[in-house]
Structure 1
């Protein structure tokens, strides 16, 4: 079955295989949060992005291979409800951006813009996007055999950037998303958000001026 990224709360996960990496997306919790499990084909190492909720369902996706790393994209509690339970059960190392870390339980290592996180032989680049929260991040995988893939947390969705508290925060987030994602990456870049369906930068690019004008 072709991967579309269309998952539903309580429904089955969706998996796609890339060159050297597989991505499994599952919707968990009452706010339809997306959790992503990345698996390195060469080493079998696994990394989770946002242990959001429903620990038992996440364990079912993780399976016997275990988990080496959990990255939390930002401080909002709907993105880390299952974090402590997964850390205790797997011994994984917990990562978050330094500006949000004090609001997230059990962060082992602080992240900054431009850092690299390893999932086996696969490298993920940390992209700091200020505005939804001070420490919101995206994770970028530049697949040399295909297109880039970016996990954006709540900073970029189909139809706009993430929710902000006012115009100043919106302007910050919009500027970061535009300069660090849209200005840098091609239209084919696949976007995996923190809630809901996937998109591509190309699908969203024509609406950038409209987003800026409306301010959300």
Structure 2
């Protein structure tokens, strides 16, 4: 059975001419011999160190905002692992890495297996066109990137984002998961599906 390790890295998020300081969650899922990294943020050396010598099978990008992918090419070069991204986020990817394409696509329903644990790709657009979540039923966990946080959906006030779309993604793809599913986010604290479900109507009323 795989385990989940959390590494927090710090850097900047830049889009539409603005720059913000951010702390990112880097999730490492695997056993004692192999792992995948979900969102290679800011510091490839720290992520490689956190792997502890395990074989890195893939670098999975929940979306292509720069703060979630800035360390991906360097981590790939250091480990030989492929970078995987949903193709709808290629325009965002190219803003950060114009000369280095991802190594492979992510698709809705795709299955990734590491350490005997299966993760299913859920395409959840809204925060970004190619945003995905990764659901691991055996761990009772979903990795939501910036689609769902403790307290509401990810931001949709910038380019390539759309509030009605993220609400649909959360309602149809995430809130249908078991209520006790742990939600591990791209920034900040964990929550559960059950804790976030009652707030959906309030999110809709407030809009973004």
Aligned twin of 1:173: 166
Superposition map of 1:82-161 within 5 A: 82-104=71-93, 105-143=100-138, 148-161=140-153
State the Cα distance separating 1:103 from its structure 2 match.
3.5
In the alignment, is the contact (CA less than 8 A) between 1:192 and 1:199 conserved in 2?
A: yes
What TM-score do you get using the length of structure 1 for normalisation?
A: 0.83
TM-fit CA distance, 1:102: 4.7
Note the residue ranges of structure 2 that are not aligned, 5 or more in a row.
12-21, 94-99
CA distance in 2, matches of 1:48, 1:77: 16
Counterpart in the other structure of 1:66: 55
Instruction: Identify the residue that residue 195 of structure 2 maps to in structure 1.
Output: 203
**TM-score, length of structure 2 as denominator length:** 0.86
Q: Which runs of 5+ in 1 are unaligned?
A: 1-19
Task: Name the counterpart of 1:80.
Answer: 69
Q: Which residue of 1 aligns with 2:17?
A: none
Residue 206 of structure 2 is aligned to residue 214 of structure 1 = yes
After TM superposition, the structure 1 stretch with the greater mean CA deviation from structure 2, 62-71 or 103-112, is 103-112
CA contact (8 A) 2:133 2:143 kept: yes
**What is the aligned-residue RMSD (CA, Å)?**
1.6
Identify the residue that residue 46 of structure 1 maps to in structure 2. Answer: 35
Deviations 1:147-174 (A, max 9, x none): 62100001000111011138x8111110
Question: Is the Cα–Cα contact under 8 Å of residues 40 and 122 in structure 1 kept in the other structure?
Answer: no
Structure 1 residue 40 displacement after superposition? 3.3
Aligned equivalents of 2:198, 2:89: Cα separation in 1: 31
CA–CA distance in structure 2, aligned partners of residues 206 and 134 of structure 1: 25
Contact 2:73 2:83 in 1 (8 A): no
What's the secondary structure of 1:135's corresponding residue?
Answer: coil
Q: Cα distance, 1:28 vs. partner?
A: 0.3
Helix, strand or coil at the partner of 2:162? helix
Runs of 4+ in structure 1 off by over 3 angstroms are none
Query: What is the DSSP-based 3-state SS (H/G/I as helix, E as strand, rest coil) of the residue aligned with 1:32?
Result: strand
